[in-house]
Amino acid sequence: MGLRFEPFHVLAEVGRAFAQAVKRGWRPKRTLVFCNWDGEEHGLIGSTEFVQEFAQVLQDRAIIYLNVDTIASNQSLIVKTIPSLFSAVVSAAKKVPNPVESERAKGRQTIYDTWKAYYPQKGNFTWLSPDVPDIDLPGGGTDHMSFLNFLGIPVVDFTYRNVSWGSYPLYHSRYEVPFVNEHLFDHDNLSVHKAIGQYWAEMARLFADSPLLPINASCFALTLANNYLPGIVKNLDNLHEKWPKEMGPAVKQMRNLWRQTWLFVGQTQKFEQDVYSESAMNAEWANRRLRKVDQCFVNPTMGLAEKEKEKRHVLFSLSDADTYSASVMSAVNDKITEFKNAADDKKRLELGQQLAVELAVVQYSVLCATNILKPFY
């Protein structure tokens, strides 16, 4: 972690602000825990050890993990999170004043306005509200990994960056000194630092105080159905045309996963309709179920976890081929790649059966999430 942006100081200010609010009589409905990790550059040691030591407590009680690593520019907020939190991260951004004078001069009064202007929604998200900017999934190389991949706790990773480049030449060099930050990156009285802190605080307050947790299960389900699965279906269909026998079991299992996913979509929509039509007395009942949806996708023995025990999330754990870039269903896609590169049909037959198993693992998780949201009579 370079000296250009030390999140600990911003975190300390956020903590101080909450402490002042408590002195004035405010109390969060849910507990806020402030953590500062060591050993990030050496393998995410601090955060990983914490997650492993307190795994049961975190899985039972933690709702969300908010991560700030560093900042490499002063142009726009950029947020990475999972689909169930899209609405929440947008809502919080709309409440934070824009720290950049040139952006305010363009009529962009909040950090959301600049974010939406520079990172408009792209891809097949026609079902999603148009006010949601482009939001990537969390990748690797920073401290949120164990929370999401090992325990299935939803995470938000946010920073400021420039639209045309992700880093800069002084990154991780001896020239990353406070002068760079104060005179090049954040020369307007550390206004970008302040905005990061305000966004951090608003996200924490939102999840601490909302009677109904701002977790959007239907957005999660629709993204899975409309964005994650179609590419795999197309891949399997193309391979099935060339190797019908070898790919047969996987194609059959893919149909099962497809059907179960759309049942999941329907159940999330029914759940949300029921929750919003009932009284606030049911908020605790709904919150318990919403928290468990993501945990349904944690499998400690199958998928990537069969070989790497820390990669337990069947949707979002990172592929061995690229431990930095975000990916979806890495175990499935890695197996498809192996199938394509197989030396002979005998090996393809074996890999096709293994692929069917990986798809079944995902289907089981989707079934779990569907059942979690159903009333149990």
Q: What is the DSSP letter of 157?
A: E
40 catalytic residue (yes or no): yes
Residues 151 and 51 sit within 8 Å (Cβ to Cβ): yes
Give the separation between CA 335 and CA 323, rounded to whole angstroms.
17
Describe the strand order of the beta sheet including 76-81 as a list of residue ranges: 65-67, 155-161, 76-81
Under DSSP, is residue 39 helix (H, G, I), strand (E, B) or coil?
coil
> Which are the contacts of 137, defined by CB distance < 8 A and separation ≥ 6?
80, 81, 82, 316, 326, 327, 328
The residue written with tokens 């929440």 in the block is 88
Give the separation between CA 226 and CA 260, rounded to whole angstroms.
13
Question: For residue 259, which amino acid is it?
Answer: R
Catalytic residue among 6, 13, 40, 306: 40
CA angle 171, 138, 238 (to 5 degrees): 115
Residues 202 and 66 sit within 8 Å (Cβ to Cβ): no
Type and span of the H or E element at 357: helix 345-372
Give the separation between CA 144 and CA 313, rounded to whole angstroms.
13
Active-site annotation, residues = 40
